Structure 1
Amino acid sequence: MLYTGRALKRLRLLRGIKQSHVAELLGVTQATVSRWETGVLIPAEDQQAALEHLFAREDSTADAAIKRLVETSTARVHLICDHSHRLLAASPARRAEWRRDMLGTPMFRYASDDIQHAEATLQDLGWHEGETTSLVVETGPNGRYDVPIVAGRVLWERIPLADGAMGRLVTTLT
């Protein structure tokens, strides 16, 4: 996932990590982290991977009920971390579409162009501020065999998780 500066700052503050500590962990200067957060610089691909690993969170026991509901649903649905896009849970119908185990994997790399475009509009819609909490997204195919996405519509619903982070429930409508 390509973190926007604002998302990177939000995740860092949510985890209570100082810029200098992020810099130390990633082998960059504090000024570089500051430039990432203000959008002056974009982290390189290896730095993005390191950021994904740094901000990945473990499941909370308080979220066990929502995970169980997703994992036993008959709908084609999955739950991701709204910031890292890491897969938290998936229904059997959704898992059957994928040719590999995806739990814990950041999903954004599999997004179709339409999904990437919709993701880019979330800031303007006030998604991260809670002004918009659900959105129907038209999806085009992603052309992948391992984690295919077909043309259709999905419902994105933003839900709070027990640790203060936000989740995104993704349900296929068509």
Structure 2
Amino acid sequence: MKKLGERIKRLRRARNMTQQQLAELLGIDQGAVSRWERGHIMPSARYRQELERVLQAPLMEMDQPLLDSVNRDLHFSLVLDCELRVLAASETTLAINGCRSRSELIGSSYLPMLNETARSLYLWLQESGAFDEGINWARFTVPTPTLHSGYRWMESLWIPFRLDSGELVYRVSSRLLDAPPAEGLGRAILEVDGKQRELLIPTHGNNQPARQQPQHKDWSRAM
């Protein structure tokens, strides 16, 4: 959210506009603009569209070829930043998440949409410094809630990219598995500096994530 707030501030200042003037054009309180720019709250989909109209520029600084390739993808495909904010999404991704349009998902955090198993895997990566070190790739295998099919096992491959702005983002490509893994465990495998590391998380037999802590939380032991 902080990077989005900084983007709003840069665009506003480039147009020699005060927070009060921007707020008046949007029909909102100046305090809301201030909270956006400080990263305290995220503009809703409606106000993101209004901001782009008033500021005459996209809020997300994206590489257009990468954006277009994800939006055209026939599979479950996303571009996420390191805070799991959605920058691009395929039509299949929108359908699985029950979204009627991209505006419902773009710019929002994907973290609230993760189940407990996937959230634990992500937090382990975050806490252990994977995003700081810069992973070569990561693969998640987790039970995933879908709109019509309940919980299904999904395998997701994360590949890091640098945008023109230098920001690190991840292209996420996923596929639904025909059957759960034989061991019935949520799993994260990642490669850092040519070395692979792994985390396993137990799940319930019905594919619902179990309320247990990951088997490894220390980055150096998760091999």
For this structure pair, what is the TM-score category when the shorter chain's length is used for normalisation?
Answer: 0.5 to 0.7
Is residue 115 of structure 2 the alignment partner of residue 115 of structure 1?
Answer: no
1:69 match: secondary structure = helix
Q: Bigger relative contact order, structure 1 or 2, given CA contacts below 8 A and separation 6+?
A: 1
| The structure with more strand, counted as a fraction of residues | 2
1:161 positional shift: 1.6
Seen in structure 2, the aligned counterparts of structure 1 residues 116 and 151 have a Cα distance that, compared at 3 Å, is same
- Distance in 2, matches of 1:158 and 1:71, equals 17
Alpha-carbon displacement from aligned partner over 1:16-67 (angstroms, at most 9, x marks no partner): xxxxxxxxx56xxxxxxxxxxxxxxxxxxxxxx72556xx99222x511100
- Distance in 2, matches of 1:155 and 1:95, equals 18
Task: State the match for 1:126 in structure 2.
Answer: 130
2:121 match: secondary structure = helix
- Greater radius of gyration (CA): 2
Letter of the structure 2 residue corresponding to residue 138 of structure 1: T
The alignment yields a C-alpha RMSD, in angstroms, of 3.3
Task: State the match for 2:154 in structure 1.
Answer: 152
- Distance in 1, matches of 2:167 and 2:88, equals 15
- Distance in 1, matches of 2:151 and 2:108, equals 16
- Distance in 2, matches of 1:134 and 1:92, equals 24
**What TM-score comes out, normalization by structure 2 length?**
0.48
The correspondence of residues 1-174 of structure 1 with structure 2, limited to 5 A, is 50=40, 58-60=59-61, 63-83=63-83, 85-100=84-99, 101=101, 102-123=105-126, 124=128, 126-130=130-134, 132-142=135-145, 145=147, 150-173=152-175, 174=177
1:115 match: secondary structure = helix
- Distance in 2, matches of 1:72 and 1:145, equals 21
- Distance in 2, matches of 1:65 and 1:154, equals 21
- Distance in 2, matches of 1:149 and 1:170, equals 19
Percent of aligned pairs sharing the same letter: 16
1:67 match: secondary structure = helix
Letter of the structure 2 residue corresponding to residue 155 of structure 1: L
Structure 2: runs of 5+ lacking an equivalent: 8-33, 49-57, 178-223
User: Runs (4+) of structure 1 moved beyond 6 Å?
Assistant: none
Q: What is the number of equivalent residue pairs in this alignment?
A: 129
- Distance in 2, matches of 1:133 and 1:149, equals 29
Contact residue 154 and residue 172 of structure 1 kept, 8 A: yes
- Distance in 2, matches of 1:78 and 1:111, equals 14
1:105 match: secondary structure = coil
1:127 match: secondary structure = helix
Alpha-carbon displacement from aligned partner over 1:40-98 (angstroms, at most 9, x marks no partner): xxxxxxxxx72556xx99222x5111000101112211111222x22111112222212
- Distance in 1, matches of 2:60 and 2:142, equals 28
**What TM-score comes out, normalization by structure 1 length?**
0.59
